[in-house]
Each structure stands twice: as C-alpha cells, then as structure tokens.
Amino acid sequence: MVSLFKGSAFLTGACSGIGRATALAFAKYGATRLSLVDHDSSSLAATSKPIKELHPSIQILEHPFDITNEGKVQAAIAKTAAEFGCIDVVVNIAGISHSGLTNDCKTEEWREVLGVNLDGLWFCQREEIRQMLAQEDRGPREGRGSIVNISSVAGLVGGGISPAYTASKHAVIGLTIKDAATYASKGIRVNAISTPMIERFQSQFPDEVKTSVATVPMRRMAEMEEIADVIVFLGSRMGSFVCGAAVPVDRGFTAI
C-alpha cells in the first residue's frame, strides 16, 4: 500500500460505522499516530486491536468519554498534542438522532441531539483550532492542520428523520463554512462531508434504508470504506486546495 498520509489523526465517534472505517483507512494509508474518542471503552479496544495487528508500529491513544463533556474534550486534545507533538488531521464524526416530526418531538430529545451533534462538535472544534493555531505552519500543502466534519444530506436539504437531526446537520455545515473562512489564512482547512443519514443508522431505521435504496440513482448502500476514503482525501495533503466545502458523498441523492 502506498503511503498517502504519514501524520497523526484525531477521531471522535471512532468505533462504529464511518468512524471505525475511517480509523482503519487512516492506518491503511500510512498514519503513524491515531487518537480515538468514543463513549464506549470496550468498543475502543475492539477498534484498536485489528489496527495494531495490521500495523504494529502505529501509536494509538484511546479516550472513552462523551463529547458533550467540555473538560474531557480539552483533556483529550491536550494529551494527544503532548503525546504526538501535533495533531495533523481531525475528523469529528460522533452524532446521534431520534425519529419523529416536530409535533411529536420532546424537548429533551431535541436538546440531546443538538447537544451531541452541534454543541459537542463545537466543543471539539474549538479545542482543535486552538491547538492547531499553536502548531507550526508547514506550508501551503500541509498548513497547521485540517478538520473534517461529518454532516449529512439532511444538512443540505429538508430530509432527515427528525427536525433536531436536520437542524443540527445544517448547523454543522454553517459552522464548517464559518471557521473555514476564518482560519484558512492561518493554515487551517475546515471541510465537511454530507453522507446519506441512513448509512449511519440503518439498524435503527430499517424502513428508511429500504425506501432510500429504491429511490437514489446508484440504487445501493454505501460501503463505509467509500466514505472513509473521501475523509482521508479531504484531511490529507491530497485535498490541500479544498476549504469550506460540504462534499456530498451520497450515491447521487442530492442530484435528484
């Protein structure tokens, strides 16, 4: 395998679906250091094990906590920077959803989804940017660092299975664009990808999966590796001229 990325990566929501595939992809493409965040410590161990078996020299840090905890976010970024020397790429993946329309949505469900998908992501991005601003600018291809946020096609259109989820994913794109415009001149790139929501929640919402597959142009589900490859591209020097983008990785969903 050709080494396409030789630095360090920090991932939230790293132990299932897109997150697990992305951790494996960074290792496959040459990452030497991975810092993985997930709320489940056993899942962290289960993700790290096959990576270490395939890539024995890779250094992995595990952080079992919920990203809505500001203090733990700060501590994880600080520990990663101290252990690795710098943080080259960040992928903010962690997210949740509830189902139901506005008239059925409970206040606590709204707050829970926005708390993770927006507040938690912002807690992470704030600390990530602070850390990257303190790092050396390594030139136009590398800069000080790169951030990739996981949004959804629900962040581009009016879809999604709940108003809270849709609102949160629109907000993620807004935050991505704002911080991209603010920090690009400082050598920090910020981008997002918009994935089909049901790829991330197919076990939770099987009916939506069936309907979606039947109506999108490509007529199939994504393999998680297909999404992870785009994330690695955007985060690495291969995507060095992409900034402030919300890239649909959606099998043609937003084309119809």
User: What mean pLDDT comes out for the span 76-95?
Assistant: 98
User: For residue 74, which of 122, 145, 31 has the smallest C-alpha distance?
Assistant: 122
User: What mean pLDDT comes out for the span 11-25?
Assistant: 96
* 196, 250 Cβ separation under 8 angstroms: yes
Would you list the domain boundaries of the chain? Answer: 8-244
Q: Is 6 a catalytic residue?
A: no
Domain 8-244 in this protein, CATH class: alpha beta
- pLDDT value at position 59? 98
**Torsion angles phi and psi, residue 193, rounded to 5:** -120, 145
User: What mean pLDDT comes out for the span 4-20?
Assistant: 93
Residue 144 neighbours by CB under 8 Å, 6+ apart: 132, 133, 135, 136, 137, 138, 186, 187, 188
Q: What is the pTM (predicted TM-score) of this model?
A: 0.94
User: For residue 129, which of 69, 181, 68 has the smallest C-alpha distance?
Assistant: 181
- pLDDT value at position 172? 98
What is the rounded average pLDDT for all residues in the chain?
93
pLDDT at 13 over 80: yes
* CA–centroid distance for 7 within its chain: 17
Highest mean predicted confidence (pLDDT) among 13-17, 130-134, 196-200, 211-215: 130-134
For residues 251 and 230, give the distance between their C-alpha atoms in angstroms, rounded to a whole number: 13
User: What mean pLDDT comes out for the span 16-33?
Assistant: 96
* Cross-strand partners of 145: 188
* CA–centroid distance for 74 within its chain: 17
Catalytic residue among 6, 29, 52, 165: 165
Catalytic residue among 28, 29, 169, 183: 169
Q: Is 183 a catalytic residue?
A: no
pLDDT tens for 162-221 read 899 999 999 999 999 999 999 999 999 999 999 985 655 667 777 777 777 777 787 777
- pLDDT value at position 158? 84
User: What mean pLDDT comes out for the span 120-141?
Assistant: 98
The share of the chain scoring above pLDDT 70, in percent, equals: 95
